[in-house]
Amino acid sequence: MSYEVLARKYRPQTFAGLTGQEHVSRTLQNAIDTGRVAHAFLFSGARGVGKTSTARILAKALNCEQGVSLEPCNVCPQCKEITDGSSTDVFEIDGASNTGVDDVRELRDNSRYLPSHSRYKIYIIDEVHMLSTNAFNALLKTLEEPPPHVKFIFATTEPHKLPITILSRCQRFDFKRVPLIKIVGRLREIADQEGIVISDAALALVARKGDGSMRDSITCFDQVLAFCGNTVADEDVATLVGVVDRRLLAELSSAVFAGNTQGALEGVRRVDAFGYNVRQFTQELIIHFRNLLIIRSVPKPGEILDLAEAELEELRQQAGEQSAADIQRRLTLLVKAEGEMAHASFPRLLLEMALLKMANLQPVLPIQQLLDRIKHLETGIAQTTPELWSAPATAQQSTPRNIAPPRQEAAAASVAPAPVAPAGGVGGGWERFVTFCLEQKPALGALLEHGSPLAYAPDRIEIGFPEGSYYLTSLQDVDNKKAVDALAALYMHQPTVVKVVSITAAGDGASPCSLAEKKKHDEEQRRDSIQREVNEHPVVQEALRVLGGEIVEIKEL
């Protein structure tokens, strides 16, 4: 016959055999003892802690031919049938496969009939959290007031998925995770019965792998036995269970601390070559960094870490000069990578990236040190401030002087080629006249701004416009002409002849520039000088030097 795995072979058959769930077995036994057995139970808890086993034991205790007893006899036909799963009155239903309301209706209809040859009709619904909402609701009435010969036992790993109406109708038992020491004890019993030689340390490794679940631990134990036969060596267990070599962890952490990227990646390659699960390895690495962190941040790490003095010393050496903050930042990177591994297809790549980041991390400075530095800088600035800020003051004072000459030069330059107009006089008078016109008649003034003053005297004004331009035609318009004449007379306090002439493109150079052109030119000049001023300003230069920037744009505020 084929092999029956240990987890099934050593499934507990009595309340006494249940490991780590004494609170459940005692309560149930007391209930049986005092005749206060409820009609509906809910067993919840993590995987592999004994929910289904307890359900079967309870069923046997209730239906045993020896009478309702504290422990089932396990020898009567009833008990045996239940153990085999062939009892006609104990229905073990897979709640995850029979999820529909129809399944529940069938169950409800059948529950009305008396049990065929037992005391109770017992429905064990395993994985009950998978029932549909309709199925749950269809069960409610029966669950509240079942016929006296019916008992319900529900088992689930996810009680939060059950509707509250179901929960309130059941006696609920929460199964605890099994403590490590009890798992080891149970494994030892199994080992003795199977005639297996194995050390306690190896059993502890196996038990730890189970993470509080008895079935996980026994499955793992089975695997170890399958590999090692009846005599189990400690090293074999370590390899099989996938316990990561401490030296590899130490090498990786020191590579990371030393900023040795190559060493870190080499470590990952070895992890992969050993056939470790990358995610599991990352978890081990996280624990390792946690230990380092504790070593660095707690005065007496020995009390928190369950490690031998030699190991502590080793860790202390590895932590070296690293500050707790630095270790913590690396730990955070690892934890993040580990979280991402759960739903990524490149666990190795994620580990590599995390290690590279960890290796390239710059050490952080304590805030106090930074504050001190800032304070130091501040005092330094306070001393240098007068000279730094005096410079712009002088620059500002000199600004008008600096800017003025170019403006005059520019005016001269622009007017110089105009032989007709003696720059200053015509320019100045003309400018005032245009300003006057702008005040009186803005539209007209705006037109005049574009004209070149060919001649300007109290009795005669001659304005030139580019040939064919809009301004020329506008001013040649009779109404505008009259308005200009009137304004000129008003301004000069005498009748003035205003002549509007066209300037040919060729003759452009000979005419003085219009006010608009002049404005534009002046603006350019001003920008140039501001830029020059900014570039030469000592504060700006200092800022550029310190921050290593460049001037992209200058804005006037």
Partner 1 sequence: MPLSAIKGQNRVIDALKRSITANRVAHAYLFEGPDGCGRRTTALALMQALFCKEPIDGDACGSCSSCRKLASGNHPDLHLLSPLPDKRDISIEQIRELQQQLSLRPFEAKRKACLIEPAERMNEKSANALLKTLEEPPGHAIIILLTTQADLLLSTIRSRCQHLRFSPLDDSSVVELLVQQGMASSKALELAPLAEGSMERATALEEESDAVRRQELLALLSKVSSKHIATVFDVAESVAGGREETVLTFNLLISLLRDLLLIRSCGQVGIANRFLHTELTAEAARFTPTGSMEILERALEIRRAVQGNANPKLAMERFLLTYDRLRKGV
Query: Which residues contact partner 1 by CB under 8 A?
Result: 1-3, 5, 8, 46-48, 52, 85, 94, 96-97, 99, 126-127, 129-130, 157, 213, 215-216, 219, 222-223, 225-229, 240, 242, 261-262, 265-266, 269, 272-275, 277, 279, 341-347, 349-350, 352-353, 356-357, 360
Which of 155, 195, 207 has the alpha carbon at shortest distance from 20?
207
Question: In terms of DSSP bridges, do strands 40-44 and 150-156 run parallel, antiparallel, or are they unpaired?
Answer: parallel
Nearer to partner 1, 196 or 500 (CB): 196
CB of 193 to partner 1, least distance (A): 15
CB of 550 to partner 1, least distance (A): 14
CA–CA distance, 192 with 355 (Å, rounded to integer):
45
For residue 294, the tally of other CB atoms under 10 A from its CB is 19
CA 111 vs CA 52, 59, 61, 142: distances in Å: 21, 16, 20, 9
Nearer to partner 1, 107 or 293 (CB): 107
Nearer to partner 1, 228 or 438 (CB): 228
Nearer to partner 1, 225 or 411 (CB): 225
CB of 336 to partner 1, least distance (A): 11
Nearer to partner 1, 149 or 182 (CB): 182
Residue type, 266: E
Which of 456, 507, 500, 451 has the alpha carbon at shortest distance from 480?
500
CA–CA distance, 341 with 471 (Å, rounded to integer):
75
CB of 556 to partner 1, least distance (A): 28
- Give the sheet arrangement for strand 121-126, strand by strand: 90-94, 121-126, 150-156, 40-44, 171-174
* Spatial contact of 138 and 105, defined as CB atoms under 8 Å apart: yes
Nearer to partner 1, 4 or 372 (CB): 4
CB of 552 to partner 1, least distance (A): 14
What angle do the packed helices 261-274 and 347-359 form, to 10 degrees? Answer: 150
CB of 251 to partner 1, least distance (A): 15
Nearer to partner 1, 128 or 447 (CB): 128
* Spatial contact of 403 and 527, defined as CB atoms under 8 Å apart: no
CB of 225 to partner 1, least distance (A): 6
CB of 227 to partner 1, least distance (A): 5
Tokens coding 480: 């505008």
CB of 3 to partner 1, least distance (A): 5
- Using alpha carbons only, give the angle 461, 463, 469 rounded to the nearest 5 degrees: 160
Q: How far is CA 55 from the centre of its chain?
A: 43
CA–CA distance, 448 with 454 (Å, rounded to integer):
12
CA–CA distance, 521 with 412 (Å, rounded to integer):
12
CA–CA distance, 90 with 119 (Å, rounded to integer):
10
DSSP 8-class letter at 363: P
Nearer to partner 1, 8 or 432 (CB): 8
Nearer to partner 1, 360 or 504 (CB): 360
